[in-house]
């Protein structure tokens, strides 16, 4: 496993702004996350935010970096916890689902639409996705496993499964399918 990338170092004030932005994102949704709304939540004028984040896109990039670091850390932890004797696909999928559902606004921001690579720590995207490769041992299967996990999460967040669906069973079926007959 590779070491996690170094996150962007931020001032205490920038960290406070990010915390407030994240709160708005999770409680009110992405549409509510405006510089004006954020400034109001912090009790400041919007222009003062631009000293720390020159654009809303820069603010969102910082949130994406934060989300990818958190998700990547959780997924790497799942692989490490699975150990060598247990196929890590089940643990990886359980961890992915739990992390995404715990922070749906941040998850959507980090995984929907084009990625703003220039806002991320060098190597962050590859590192955050590495656990899928470690679980499957193959880049194509890793991409397919990520696609399964992301699709399942998005459908669950959007309430697109039929009422009464046993999503735990669906996730387990995916784990078995990606484990190639080994114990999931």
Condensed to tens digits (0 to 9), the pLDDT of residues 79-123 reads 988 775 556 899 999 999 999 999 999 999 999 888 877 778 889
Structural contact between residues 30 and 108, judged by C-beta atoms closer than 8 angstroms: yes
For residue 130 the two structure tokens come to: 């590495």
Q: Which residue has the tokens 């959007």?
A: 158
Structural contact between residues 39 and 45, judged by C-beta atoms closer than 8 angstroms: yes
Average pLDDT of the residues in 9-24: 96
Per-residue pLDDT band for 180 (boundaries 50, 70, 90) equals: low
* Whole-prediction pTM: 0.91
In angstroms, the CA 90 to CA 144 distance is: 15
Phi and psi for 44 in degrees, rounded to 5? -130, 175
Topology (CATH level 3) of domain 12-178: Tetracycline Repressor; domain 2 (1.10.357)
In angstroms, the CA 37 to CA 72 distance is: 29
SS3 158: coil
């Amino acid at each position: 496993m590779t070491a996690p990338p170094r996150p962007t170092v931020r001032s205490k004030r920038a960290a406070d702004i990010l915390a407030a932005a994240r709160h708005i994102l999770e409680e009110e949704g992405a549409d509510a996350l405006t510089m004006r709304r954020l400034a109001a939540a912090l009790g400041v004028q919007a222009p003062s935010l631009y000293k720390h984040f020159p654009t809303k896109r820069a603010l969102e990039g910082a949130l994406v970096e934060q989300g990818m670091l958190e998700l990547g850390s959780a997924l790497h932890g799942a692989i490490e916890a699975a150990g060598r004797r247990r196929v890590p696909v089940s643990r990886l999928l359980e961890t992915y689902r739990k992390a995404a559902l715990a922070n749906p606004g941040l998850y959507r921001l980090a995984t929907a639409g084009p990625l703003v690579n220039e806002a991320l720590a060098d190597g962050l995207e590859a590192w955050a996705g590495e656990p899928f490769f470690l679980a499957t041992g193959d880049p194509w299967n890793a991409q397919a496993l990520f696609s399964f996990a992301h699709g399942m999460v998005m459908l669950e967040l959007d309430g697109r499964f039929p009422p009464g669906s046993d999503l735990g069973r669906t996730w387990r079926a995916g784990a078995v399918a990606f484990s190639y007959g080994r114990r999931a």
